[in-house]
């Protein structure tokens, strides 16, 4: 298709991970037992809202999960940061550290820190083409000239859940977890059309029909926008399920809306560029007219140089300086300097 919905991978990821039961299952089956044994998963809370820093900048970690620790008389929370990646990113570790710091500062601003900082466990959920080959240790981002500097380097690492390198048999936990993994593993590949049949067969085993419709809508929209499956074929698979017609209609409406939004954005971009070109041309002509009034008609070569200046601010500065120049030669020197920058 000729348009793009901003980060459709991330949108679908959040459609799954906004469900606390799904998140609970993911943690249960895909976080090491030595960690999950410490957690009271019945207290799990999911936050997709992000937070605002002191500089009033918004930070959106994909999913921040709050869980209480077992065996504590007071509520002691641990946080699990679930960060989605559809392509390898070298500075993911830096992004994670920023999210962690912003989370701690957010807790401080809200008066929710009780002495020590709470632990945040970062998990990168990756499903790009090829394996995740970057180090997971933050300290590996530094090329230290001497080990004496080591104590000054932050030390942490993130976990990696590399869907692209997992075998399909590893997905067989709960039906919805298997659906998620099959969908995200094959979204880049033609095999998705075959896997879509498996995904829909699994959907039919879920007893909660409201959740089936919710996940079906997320799957259809994701595949319609990002997957290598035609809308016609997608419709053939989808319409056999309860709510399939509605899901296809909603996806089609979303696609039409995104196409319309893109058209409006492109039209606005063209309008702004046209206005800028018009303002630039008018500013160039004003400078030529003012300089002509001060020093007589400008040579064509000098006019061409003025027209090659594409900074409105520079042109306006030259216009103010024209009145201070004593000769055409002095003004020409100003223009020459402006065109050299």
The pLDDT of 262-273, averaged and rounded, is 72
Q: What is the pLDDT of residues 166-189, one digit of tens each?
A: 999 999 999 999 999 999 999 999
Whose tokens are 């500062």? That residue is: 105
Confidence grade of residue 6 (pLDDT, cut at 50, 70, 90): low
d(CA 172, CA 120): 28
What is the token pair recorded at 221?
A: 């929209």
263 vs 103: which has the higher pLDDT: 103
Which residues are registered as beta bridge partners of 120? 79
What is the token pair recorded at 234?
A: 């997608």
How many residues does the structure list for the chain?
341
Contact yes or no for 47/67 (Cβ under 8 A): no
CA proximity to 47, closest of 7, 11, 81 = 81
The pLDDT of 110-136, averaged and rounded, is 92
Among left, alpha and beta (phi > 0; psi -120 to 50; other), residue 166 is beta
Write down the pLDDT at residue 252. 62
Whose tokens are 């962690």? That residue is: 100
Cβ count within 10 A of residue 281: 11
pLDDT exceeds cutoff 70 at 57:
no
Confidence grade of residue 18 (pLDDT, cut at 50, 70, 90): very high
Contact yes or no for 237/197 (Cβ under 8 A): yes
Confidence grade of residue 93 (pLDDT, cut at 50, 70, 90): very high
Write down the pLDDT at residue 261. 61
Confidence grade of residue 341 (pLDDT, cut at 50, 70, 90): low
Confidence grade of residue 251 (pLDDT, cut at 50, 70, 90): low
**Burial class (CB within 10 angstroms; exposed 0-12, middle 13-18, buried 19+) of 17:** buried
Element (H, E) at 325: none
245 vs 337: which has the higher pLDDT: 337
Query: Please, what's the largest Cα pairwise distance for the chain?
Result: 89
Q: What is the pTM of this model?
A: 0.71
Average pLDDT, the chain: 87
Q: pLDDT > 70: what percent of the chain?
A: 89
d(CA 255, CA 314): 43
d(CA 304, CA 263): 35
Confidence grade of residue 43 (pLDDT, cut at 50, 70, 90): very high
d(CA 225, CA 234): 11
Write down the pLDDT at residue 201. 92
13 Cβ neighbours under 8 A, 6+ residues apart: 62, 84, 125, 184
């Amino acid at each position: 298709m000729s348009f793009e919905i901003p980060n459709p991978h991330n949108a679908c990821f959040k459609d799954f991970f906004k469900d606390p039961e799904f998140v609970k299952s993911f943690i249960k089956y895909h976080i090491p037992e030595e960690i999950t044994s410490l957690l009271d998963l019945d207290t799990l809370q999911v936050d997709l809202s992000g937070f605002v820093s002191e500089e009033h900048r918004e930070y959106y970690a994909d999913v921040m999960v709050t869980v209480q620790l077992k065996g504590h008389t007071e509520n002691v929370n641990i946080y699990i940061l679930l960060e989605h990646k559809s392509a390898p990113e070298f500075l993911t570790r830096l992004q994670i550290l920023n999210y962690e710091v912003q989370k701690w500062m957010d807790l401080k601003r809200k008066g929710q820190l009780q002495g020590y900082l709470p632990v945040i466990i970062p998990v990168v959920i990756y499903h790009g083409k090829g394996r995740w080959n970057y180090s997971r240790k933050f300290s590996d981002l530094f090329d230290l000239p001497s080990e004496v500097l080591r104590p000054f380097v932050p030390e942490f690492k993130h976990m990696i859940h590399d869907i692209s390198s997992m075998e399909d048999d590893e997905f067989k936990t709960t039906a919805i977890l298997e659906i998620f993994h099959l969908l995200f593993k094959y979204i880049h590949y033609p095999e998705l059309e075959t896997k879509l049949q498996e995904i829909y067969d699994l959907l039919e085993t879920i007893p909660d029909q409201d959740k089936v419709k919710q996940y079906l809508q997320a799957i259809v929209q994701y595949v319609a926008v990002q997957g290598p499956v035609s809308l016609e074929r997608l419709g053939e698979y989808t319409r056999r399920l309860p709510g399939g017609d509605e899901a296809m209609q909603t996806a089609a409406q979303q696609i039409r809306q995104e196409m319309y939004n893109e058209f409006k954005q492109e039209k606005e971009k063209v309008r702004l560029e046209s206005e800028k070109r018009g303002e630039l041309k008018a500013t160039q002509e004003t400078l030529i007219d003012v300089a002509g009034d001060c020093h007589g008609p400008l040579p064509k070569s000098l006019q061409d140089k003025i027209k090659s200046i594409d900074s409105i601010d520079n042109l306006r500065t030259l216009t103010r300086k024209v009145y201070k120049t004593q000769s055409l030669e002095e003004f020409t020197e100003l223009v020459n300097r402006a065109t050299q920058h």
